Structure 1
Amino acid sequence: MPQRLLDKLERTFGRFAVPNLTVYLIAGQTFFYVLYMTGKLERSVSILAADRLLAGEWWRLATFPFDPPGLSIIFAFFAWYLFYLMGSALEEQWGSFRYNAYILIGYLLTVAVSFLIPAYPVSNTYIAGSVFLAFAFLYPDFTLMLFFVLPVRIKWLALLTWLYYGVLFLTGGGPTRLLVLASVGNFLIFFANDLRWLAKREGRQLAKKNWQPPVRSHEEPLHRCTVCGITDKTHPRMDFRYCPQCAGQHGYCQEHIFSHEHVKE
Structure 2
Amino acid sequence: MNFIDKLERKYGRFAIRNLTVYILVAYAIGYLTYAINPDMYLLLTMDAEAIFENGQVWRLVTWICTMPQNLNIFIIFMFMFFYWIGSVLESTWGSFKYNLFIFSGMFFMTLGSLVIYFITYFVGPSSAIGGISIPINTYYINLTLFLAFAMIYGEQQVYFMLILPVKVKWLAILDLLLIAYDFFNAGNIVNFYRHIANEGVVAYLSLYVWCYRITIVISILNFIIFYFVFRKSKQLSPKASQTRKKFKKDSAKIRPQTAVHKCEICGKTNLDDDTLVFRYCSKCEGNHEYCQDHLFTHEHIKS
Task: Provide TM-score, normalisation by structure 2.
Answer: 0.60
User: Would you say the 8 A contact 1:69–1:76 is kept in 2?
Assistant: no
Residues in 2 aligned to 1:8 and 1:22: alpha-carbon distance in whole angstroms: 24
**What is the total number of aligned residue pairs between the two structures?**
195
Secondary structure at the aligned position of 1:102 is classed as: helix
Tell me the distance in 2 between the aligned counterparts of 1:17 and 1:194.
20
Equivalent-residue separation in structure 2 for 1:69 and 1:82 (angstroms): 14
Moved over 6 A (4+): none
Q: 2:28 maps to which residue? A: 30
1:70 to 2:51 alignment: no
Map of 1:56 onto structure 2: 55
Mapped to 1, the partners of 2:180 and 2:69 lie a distance apart of 24
Aligned to 1:177: 213
Matches within 5 A, 1:10-159: 10-39=8-37, 42-54=40-52, 55-118=54-117, 119-159=133-173
- The one-letter amino acid paired with 1:141 is E
User: How far apart, CA to CA, are the structure 1 residues paired with 2:26 and 2:184?
Assistant: 34
Distance 1:128 1:33 in 2: 16
- Are residues 1:188 and 2:224 paired? yes
What is the RMSD computed on CA atoms of the aligned residues? Answer: 2.0
Tell me the TM-score normalized by structure 1: 0.68
Greater C-alpha Rg: 1
8 Å CA contact 1:168–1:176 kept in 2: the answer is no
Per-residue deviation, 1:115:
1.4
Residue 26 of structure 1 aligns to which amino acid in structure 2? L
Q: Residues of 1 paired with 2:228 and 2:77: CA distance?
A: 30
Q: Structure 1: which amino acid aligns with 2:101?
A: Y
Separation in 2 of the partners of 1:194 and 1:97? 15
**SS class of match (1:123):** coil
Instruction: Structure 1: state its 5+ residue gaps.
Output: 198-265
CA shift, 1:122, in A, is: 1.3
Moved more, 9-18 or 94-103: 9-18
Which secondary structure does the structure 2 equivalent of 1:145 belong to? strand
Contact 1:143/1:153 (<8 A) preserved: yes
Structure 2: runs of 5+ lacking an equivalent? 118-132, 187-208, 234-303
SS of corresponding position for 2:159 = strand
Cα offset, 1:165, TM superposition:
1.7
1:144 Cα shift?
1.9
Deviation of the 1:161 alpha carbon: 1.2
Deviations 1:193-232 (A, max 9, x none): 45479xxxxxxxxxxxxxxxxxxxxxxxxxxxxxxxxxxx
CA distance in 1, matches of 2:81, 2:66: 16
* CA–CA distance in structure 1, aligned partners of residues 212 and 179 of structure 2: 10
